[in-house]
Amino acid sequence: MKRTLAIVGAVFAVALAVVIGNRMSADAMAVVVGVVCGVLASVPTSLLLIWALGRRGQPAGTEAGGGAGQRANYPPVVVVNPGPGYGYGAQGYGPPPTPPLDRSLPAPGSPRTFKVVGDEETALDELRHIFPGLTDDLVEGR
């Protein structure tokens, strides 16, 4: 009975595939084949995830090599970070040091300079980026 049912089911599936295959365009058939291949490609990954997540709940002693027995010999490690003022490397605690000033940037409050796109660049424009204080002397003619 089971064998007959399996044979009838296989014949039905093949006949259905032939009928659908004759009526579908090549593009639609490519989409169907791509979906089937994608689903079949995900099966091994799904099985691997099920296996890995199932082992996650097991105790550590069931691993190969007796991992729990080896870990039981080590004492617990407690790390205590002392606060500021205790003398243990005080430079590591407190506010971070201020970074050195970047001399290539203009000082706050100094006049802003603008570059118009398409203007002709001059040597003065290049010197303004390299020597910020020198160009003021050249412009004023000192």
Asked whether residue 94 is domain-assigned, the answer is: no
- Residue 115 structural domain: 110-142
Asked whether residue 57 is domain-assigned, the answer is: yes
Residue 137 has pLDDT above 70, yes or no: no
Residue 142 has pLDDT above 50, yes or no: no
State the pLDDT at residue 44: 94
Domain boundary, last residue among 56, 71, 86: 71
Asked whether residue 91 is domain-assigned, the answer is: no
| The model's pTM | 0.34
Per the structure, the count of domains in the chain is: 2
Mean pLDDT of the chain: 75
Asked whether residue 96 is domain-assigned, the answer is: no
Domain match, 8 and 55 both: yes
Asked whether residue 78 is domain-assigned, the answer is: no
Residue 26 has pLDDT above 80, yes or no: yes
Domain boundary, last residue among 15, 47, 71: 71
Asked whether residue 138 is domain-assigned, the answer is: yes
> Please, what is the end-to-end C-alpha distance for the chain in angstroms?
110
User: In sequence order, what DSSP letters do the residues of the chain get, joined into one string?
Assistant: -HHHHHHHHHHHHHHHHHHHHHHS-HHHHHHHHHHHHHHHHHHHHHHHHHHHHHHHTS-GGGSTT-HHHHHTTSPPP------TTSSSSGGGSSSPPPPPP-TTSPPTTSPP----TTPPP-HHHHHHHH-TTHHHHHHHT-
Token pair belonging to 51: 């296996």
Domain match, 65 and 116 both: no
Domain boundary, last residue among 45, 71, 97: 71
What tens digit of pLDDT does each residue of 89-108 get?
Answer: 455 555 566 666 666 666 66
State the pLDDT at residue 20: 87
| Confidence bin at 111 (pLDDT 50/70/90) | confident
The whole-angstrom separation of Cα 129 and Cα 102 is 13
Query: Higher pLDDT residue, 76 or 16?
Result: 16
